[in-house]
Amino acid sequence: MERDRILLVEDDPFLRRACEAGLRKRGYQVILAVDGEEALQRIREDAPALVLLDLLMPKLSGMEVLAELKKDEKTRHIPVVILTNSSTELERKNTASLGAAGYLVKANLSLKELADYVADFLKAHKHHS
pLDDT in tens, 79-113: 999 998 877 888 889 999 999 999 999 888 888 99
pLDDT in the model for residue 11: 92
Q: What is the mean pLDDT of the chain?
A: 91
pLDDT in the model for residue 128: 53
* CATH (one of 3.40.395.10, 3.40.50.2300, 3.40.718.10, 3.30.43.10) for 5-128: 3.40.50.2300
Rg of the chain over CA atoms, in angstroms?
13
8 A C-beta contact, residue 54 and residue 13: no
8 A C-beta contact, residue 96 and residue 88: no
pTM for the model: 0.92
Q: Is residue 129 scored above 50 in pLDDT?
A: no
Which residue type, as a one-letter code, is found at position 23? L
pLDDT in the model for residue 3: 77
- For the segment 40-86, what is each residue's pLDDT rounded down to a tens digit? 999 999 999 999 999 988 899 999 999 999 999 999 999 999 998 87
- H/E element, 28: none
